Amino acid sequence: MNLDSFIAGLPKAELHIHIEGSLEPEMAFALARRNRVSIPFPTVEALRDAYSFSRLQDFLDIYYQGAQVLLTEEDFHDLALAYFDQAAADGVVHAEMFFDPQTHTARGVPFQVVADGLLAGMAAAKAKHGVSSKLILCFLRHLPEDDAFATLKAAEPWLDRIAGVGLDSSELGHPPENFARVFAAAGDIGLKRVAHAGEEGPPAYVVQALDVLHVDRLDHGNRALEDDALTARLAREAMTLTVCPLSNHKLCVVDDLADHPIARMLRLGLRATINSDDPAFFGGYINANYRAVTDLLTREDLITLARNSFLGSFLGPEDIARHVAAVDAFATRAK
Ligand code: ADE
Ligand code: ZN
């Protein structure tokens, strides 16, 4: 079996996908038409051409602007289902999906519209593709912690359908410790905790994510590799890292995909996974992210990455064991 078919056939979980980052330009134009709002680009091609970034903030500016076409429950349903159509075609059998409620509530779109729309899309994906999923509510770190508290409060009626909280948006200048109290509150109500750290921010931000936010999983984590003791700790604690190769390249976290640290992470014993982050903006869904770094990896590494995606998920132990067994069965068949 050739490598592309092997990657496509591997059962996998996606643990780092911002649902707003799966808004393809074609859908942005379709929703703008449906909702009678305007987009400041003349064509789909012009919008796609604007997807050229030299740092995280360049991307975030256009990502928040793009989200303005999302207004109704149907929009959020359609967005989620379109992602799951792509993910299922890529062999994703489970996804843990970030959403950024503040991006929408700040524009007057109620939390209810966002949450119910996404949950309906997730249910439709389960029925259509058999893909299971969980929701992770992200706090925007460029906003004050009080706003994050207000968002957690607004989420109260949905907390039985939300697996955890995350922390995203502009990393530099917004350290994890600024969100210590809201993460503690989320932990107290039994939510899982994850945070973006070490994407652009220094290793000290990764340490804060561990020691102050008490994360169950780390998003990106690339810059942890600058600190040997921290790297050894992440390996010892079997901390899952949700790594996003195409994102890292598009946002200039790595200059060249040939130098991407994914293989080094695995050699150092880190529980790394491969994910798409914001696939509509960075040039591909999960299999494209695997393919982008296959030159650095062995087939055994690809199997490890797929196994890690389930081991690092928030599924229960029986589901994890079932999915890991499916990875192993595929690997044996594909030899
Ligand atoms: N929001 C969406 N994608 C993000 C990323 N890669 N880093 C931080 N915030 C984000
Ligand atoms: Zn991300």
H/E segment holding residue 195: strand 192-197
Atom 8 of ligand 1, residue of closest alpha carbon: 169
Domain count for the chain: 1
- pLDDT for position 6: 97
- The residue contributing the CA closest to ligand 1 atom 9 is 169
What's 115's domain CATH number?
A: 3.20.20.140
Q: What is the pLDDT of residue 51?
A: 95
The whole-number pLDDT of residue 201 equals: 98
> What pLDDT score does 1 carry?
87
Q: What is the pLDDT of residue 334?
A: 93
> By residue range, what is the domain housing residue 61?
3-333
56 alpha carbon – ligand 1 mean position (Å): 7
Tell me what pLDDT residue 66 has. Answer: 95
Identify the pLDDT of residue 148: 98
CA 245 to ligand 2 center in whole angstroms: 11
Q: Is residue 199 among the annotated active site residues?
A: yes
Mutate which of 14, 20, 140, 199 to test ligand 1's pocket (most atoms within 8 Å of Cβ)? Answer: 199
Give, as residue ranges, everything with CB less than 5 Å from ion ligand 2. Answer: 277
Q: Which ligand is nearest to the CA of 15?
A: 2
> Which of 199, 200, 226, 237 is an active site residue?
199
Environment class of 31 (CB within 10 Å of its CB; exposed 0-12, middle 13-18, buried 19+):
buried
- Report the nearest-CA residue for atom 1 of ligand 1: 169
Nearest residue to 272 via CA among 222, 199, 214, 316: 222
Rounded CA gap, 27 and 60, in Å?
18
CA of 247 to the centre of ligand 2 (A): 8
Mean pLDDT for back-to-back runs of 10 residues, the chain (335 residues): 95 98 98 96 95 95 96 98 98 98 98 98 98 98 98 98 98 98 98 98 98 98 98 98 98 97 98 98 98 97 98 98 98 92
Tokens of 98: 């970030």
How far apart are the CA of 335 and the centre of ligand 2, in A?
33
Cα gap 176→164, rounded to integer Å: 16
Q: Is 263 left (phi over 0), alpha (psi -120 to 50) or beta?
A: alpha
- Per-residue pLDDT, 259: 97
Mutate to test the pocket of ligand 1, among 83, 167, 168 (most ligand atoms within 8 A of CB): 168
pTM of the model: 0.98
Atom 6 of ligand 1, residue of closest alpha carbon: 277
